[in-house]
Amino acid sequence: MTEGWRRGLEHAIAKAYGLTYDAVVEGFAPYEALRDQVAGYVQRSAPRGARVVDVACGIGNVCLRLGELGYSVQGYDAVGTLIEVARSKQRAMAAADVRFDELDVARAPAPREFDVLVSLNTLYWHPDPDGLVRACHAALRRDGHAVFVTYVRRARVVGTALEVRAAQGTVAALRSLRWLVPTALFERLRDFEPRYLDPGELRAMLEHAGFEIIEERATFLAGMCHLVWARTQESPHAPALRAGGDSVQ
């Protein structure tokens, strides 16, 4: 495939993704639970009115949710098509304190002005995950907080559905197909080399970039994702926690 055809296909895939994503995830309980988890960590990180940045925000669902909670939100994504969809949703919702711009912060760093950063499932596809994490650290003010979520394994339809059935029953497993099937198809069509970090690799990457881990947990379908809450330096307001929520003395 020529470079021009490859770029054209990627653009078409991104546009299809942007236009169909809400149909896949809205009302899908595991996704809404993950979004609420992320919002909860943001609320534990900073009060209403704080500045939050979403790196690789996609079509802006998390940004708009945080805007509803009273935060001043900046969403960045390197794919202009997704930013266009996010902006149209923002206009429809009249979300005044939410802004979307096209930017890959690993290549054109954001200003160091944010209190909280969120990054959902970006590290597994980004061509420079280490550089992205360093850029995330640089975008935060002193004593800023960050919430990172990343896939730890591929979205295998049958295998993951069986894991969900074992944990939650047949009905939940059947419902999981709503997300698993289109996601597996999307990953097959995209031209990228996925990088699935295990929790230890994710911790090491974040700590090397200057983050201190506060709390971490497995999340989403049968633990397909790993979530880490971190900060840029010691804070008197958020005691360090081990995985599972035990305080570190």
Sign of CA pseudo-dihedral 166, 169, 170, 175: negative
Residue 147 vs residues 38, 65, 76, 78: alpha-carbon distances, Å: 7, 15, 15, 19
- Share of residues in the chain with pLDDT > 90 (%): 69
Domain ranges of the chain: 3-231
To the nearest whole percent, how much of the chain has pLDDT over 70?
86
Pick the CATH number of 3-231 from 3.40.50.150, 3.30.460.10, 3.40.190.10, 3.20.20.140: 3.40.50.150
3-class state of residue 245 by DSSP: coil
Alpha carbons 195 and 151: distance in angstroms, whole number: 9
Residue range 164-173: average pLDDT?
Answer: 95
String of b and e for 53-85 (b: at least 16 CB within 10 Å)? bbbbbbbbbbbbbbbeeebbbbbbbbbebbbeb
**CB 69 within 8 Å of CB 98:** no
Q: Looking at the predicted structure, is the pLDDT value of residue 53 above 50?
A: yes
pLDDT band at 170 (very low <50, low <70, confident <90, very high): very high
Which pLDDT score, from 0 to 100, does residue 111 have? 79
Both tokens of residue 48?
């209403």
Q: What is the dihedral of CA 35, 38, 40, 41, to 10 degrees?
A: 180
pLDDT in tens, 19-45: 677 777 888 999 999 999 999 999 999
pLDDT tens figures, 86-142: 999 999 988 779 999 999 999 888 878 899 999 999 999 899 999 999 999 999 998
- Which band of pLDDT confidence, cut at 50, 70 and 90, is reported for residue 225? very high
Q: For residues 117 and 141, is the Cβ–Cβ distance under 8 A?
A: no
The Cα 72–Cα 64 span in angstroms is: 10
Give the pLDDT score at 90.
Answer: 93
Rounded distance between C-alpha atoms, residue 98 and residue 84, angstroms: 14
Task: Specify the 3-state DSSP secondary structure of 244.
Answer: coil
What number is the average pLDDT over the span 208-233?
A: 95
